[in-house]
Amino acid sequence: MDSKKPLTVTAVITTHDRVGLLKRAVESVLSQDYEALDLLVVDDASSDGTQRYMTRLAAENGRVTYLRIPPEETKGSNHARNAGIRAAKGELVAFLDDDDVWLPGKITAQVAFFERHPSAGAVSCDWYEVYCFGKKQYRYKRNFSFSRGRNEFFITTYMGVTSGMLVRKEILESIGGFDEQLPAKQEYELSCRIAMACSIGFLRRPLFEYYHYDTGACISSSAGKHIAAREHIENKYAERLAQFTPEQKKRFDAFMTKDLAYRRLMSGDRKSYRQTVRPVLGSFGIKEKAVWLLSFVMGYSTLIRGKAALKAFREKYGGQ
């Protein structure tokens, strides 16, 4: 009989004034079939009933810990995530955004990876994109792709998005957690430092749902944050970015620009979208170029509906 102790995992959810969505996220954690799992919810000064809900849940369930940051101490989502890392009891730390959902078996599958690869420091996975327009939802598998190689993690993050990450706590502590000066692109920047610190695995199966909501005003205001985040990242890693080949520089610029353009398309500002994406359009392949041109013609919501329908057709009939 194998007496080896299972790896312990802490799920960290940070939240602010979204108790309805938080309940769904919490349930997806507590319904996982991995036993050595506890949940830590970091409440960043919510005023909507989150404190009442979490206080009761923590009292009823010994696997749940509630940490509240009072209004006078709030310093943003990265500060809240770092508070969660410090307070985590597990050897491994998993993150879940309060509006996302883990699918059954996520943690079991990712811990199994660590058991097969004990030298690995982190693992992530594929996911389903879920776009919400009023009461309508459009869901499809994200075809996440990246290339391995020197400095490639700056161009296509090896970790995807926060809700897919499972990382050794000692790695997170050694690299200093999330950068609290970043106004956006936090998960991307963290994954770059993780990639510089250890080996990373990636499971080619969707293990969570990543939600997008039709909140144009918020998305529009976030465009400025993404511009500031890019400047911060380029200054912080100037020495590393100087090592890029000309081809990598071109792809890095396209990667950063596409992210900003996407935000502007979501906000409904097609003019700014066109102005943003035009300088890098020439670096796209034919298929990708067609998608971005269609994005401008069709608009964000119509594009998502069409993309979801096409994905569903391909999954049903085995197309590529």
Where do the structural domains in the chain lie, given as residue ranges? 9-213, 218-317
At 285 the pLDDT is 78
State residue 115's pLDDT score.
Answer: 97
DSSP assignment, residue 209?
E
Phi, psi of 183 (to 5 degrees): -85, -15
Cα angle, residue 14 at apex, residues 10 and 20 outer, rounded to 5°? 110
Q: What pLDDT is stored for residue 293 in this prediction?
A: 79
264: three-class secondary structure by DSSP:
helix
Which pLDDT tens digit goes with each residue over 252-291?
998 899 888 888 887 778 888 888 888 888 777 787 778 7
pLDDT per position as a tens digit, 72-93: 999 999 999 999 999 999 999 9
Averaged pLDDT in 10-residue chunks for the chain of 320 residues: 82 97 98 98 96 98 98 95 98 97 98 97 95 87 80 89 97 98 94 96 96 64 85 96 94 89 81 85 79 76 77 69
Give the Cα separation of 291 and 281 in Å (integer). 11
Question: What is the pLDDT at residue 135?
Answer: 85
Rounded to whole angstroms, the Cα distance separating 107 from 36 reads 10
How confident is the model at residue 266, as a pLDDT?
A: 79
Regarding the domain delimited by 9-213, which CATH topology (the fold level of the hierarchy) does it fall under?
Answer: Spore Coat Polysaccharide Biosynthesis Protein SpsA; Chain A (3.90.550)
Query: Percent helix, strand and coil across the chain, each rounded to 5?
Result: 50, 20, 30
Q: What is the pLDDT of residue 1?
A: 42
pLDDT per residue over 120-131, tens digit each?
999 999 999 998
Which string of b and e fits 262-300 if b means at least 16 CB within 10 Å?
A: bbbbbbbbeebbbebbeebbebbeeeeeeebeebbeeeb
Q: 81 by DSSP, 3-state: which?
A: helix
